[in-house]
């Protein structure tokens, strides 16, 4: 599922509205087909759970209700989305927070481990008590400065080697390379040999080399991807044999090799997050639950629902 609703990242549901009262539901979509023998065949239609929140179920003060009306107005009645914190689930502990390798716009590798690529996506792991079964939820809207760990050590958020940056509008974590080196030769074939000007520290046989900027017909096969290393040779241990096949292709010039987190390194995170939501209906109903002086009036909203926007 891909979001088709633009989320206003600067529009956030105030905690005062949540404190006034909220209820919700977790929604999945399965197709259930009964059979003549009494059994039921179930097909999973949605691969993820979506969350719905009902607001205004408890009468709130005029000031809080007008805040809710303001959100409905600025989002054009739900044409645009906003952010809110789930009142029962908005925190990720380091044991629950996993980074999933993200390369060429797709998840790859093993969740919670490096894959020799720069980018990773935040996930929260849910576990069934007393079981090894788990479900991983993509988190796209972390709060500022989530804590990232690599091999159990804190990662600095910055621009230095081995640092990382977090995009708060996507939840994508991008690492700065530990080291890099210029490509001086590429030998194509059933396997591929890449020669760098110098060896990359921390990259060994069985791990992965990330390549970018190579010219020639090898570009579409090698650029922007990490490749498994089957051997390292050369006097400076700077010749990397990769398992990827490039038979019939050619390298013309340019390119660099990079060292990023490897599969021997656990990648985790902790912090808090928002849920992107939008008003389900173009209309919001209200009723005056308590009359009297203006400042003391209470307003209830029997039909103010927000649905999670899948991103």
DSSP 84-115: E--TT--EE-TTTEEEEEEETTEE-S-TTB--
pLDDT in tens, 89-144: 999 999 999 999 999 889 999 999 999 999 999 999 999 999 999 999 999 999 98
Confidence of residue 145 (pLDDT cuts 50, 70, 90): confident
Report whether 273 contacts 89 (CB < 8 A).
Answer: no
**Mean pLDDT of all residues in the chain?**
95
* Cα 247 to Cα 192, 218, 251, distances in angstroms: 9, 9, 11
Tokens of 225: 């991807």
pLDDT of residue 232 exceeding 50, the answer is yes
**Among the listed ranges 35-39, 195-199, 216-220, which one has the minimum average pLDDT value?**
35-39
Q: What is the mean pLDDT of residues 67-77?
A: 95
* Cα 183 to Cα 107, 193, 233, distances in angstroms: 27, 11, 15
What one-character DSSP code corresponds to residue 296?
G
CA–CA separation, 61 vs 214, rounded Å? 63
pLDDT in tens, 248-304: 999 999 999 999 999 999 999 999 999 999 999 999 999 999 998 988 899 988 779
CATH class name, domain 180-258: mainly beta
CA–CA separation, 176 vs 103, rounded Å? 15
What are the residue ranges spanned by the domains of the chain? 7-88+275-308, 91-177+266-272, 180-258
Does the predicted model carry a pTM greater than 0.85?
A: yes
Q: What is the mean pLDDT of residues 239-245?
A: 98
So what's the pLDDT on residue 3? Answer: 56
So what's the pLDDT on residue 1? Answer: 44
> How many percent of the chain have pLDDT more than 70?
99
CA–CA separation, 230 vs 208, rounded Å? 9
> How many percent of the chain have pLDDT more than 90?
87
Nearest to 240 by CA among 283, 278, 191, 281: 191
Give the β-pairing of 81-84 and 7-12: parallel
pLDDT of residue 2 exceeding 90, the answer is no
């Amino acid at each position: 599922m891909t979001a088709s609703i633009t989320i206003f990242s600067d529009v956030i549901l105030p905690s005062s509205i949540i404190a006034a009262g909220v209820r919700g539901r977790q929604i999945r979509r399965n197709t259930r087909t009964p059979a003549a023998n009494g059994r039921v065949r179930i097909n999973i239609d949605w691969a993820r759970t979506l969350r719905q929140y009902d607001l205004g179920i408890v009468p709130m003060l005029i000031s809080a209700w007008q805040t809710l009306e303001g959100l409905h107005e600025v989002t054009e009645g739900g044409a645009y989305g906003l952010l809110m914190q789930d009142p029962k689930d908005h925190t990720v502990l380091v044991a629950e927070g996993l980074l999933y390798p993200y390369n060429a716009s797709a998840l790859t590798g093993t969740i919670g481990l490096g894959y020799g690529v720069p980018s990773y996506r935040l996930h929260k792991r849910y576990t069934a008590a007393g079981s090894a079964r788990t479900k991983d939820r993509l988190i796209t809207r972390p709060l500022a400065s989530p804590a990232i760990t690599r091999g159990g050590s804190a990662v600095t958020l910055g621009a230095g080697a081995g640092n990382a940056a977090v995009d708060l509008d996507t939840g994508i974590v991008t690492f700065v390379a530990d080291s890099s080196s210029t490509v001086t030769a590429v030998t194509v074939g059933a396997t591929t040999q890449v020669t760098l000007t110098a060896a990359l520290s921390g990259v060994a046989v069985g791990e992965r080399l990330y390549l970018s900027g190579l010219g020639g017909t090898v570009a579409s096969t090698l650029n922007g991807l990490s490749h498994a290393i089957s051997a390292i040779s050369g006097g400076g241990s700077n010749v990397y044999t990769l398992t990827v096949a490039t038979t019939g292709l050619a390298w013309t010039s340019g390119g660099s090799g990079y060292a990023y987190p490897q599969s021997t390194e656990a990648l985790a995170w902790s912090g808090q997050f928002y849920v992107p939501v939008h008003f389900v209906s173009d209309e919001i109903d209200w009723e005056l639950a308590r009359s009297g002086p203006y400042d003391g009036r209470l307003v209830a909203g029997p039909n103010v629902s927000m649905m999670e926007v899948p991103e």
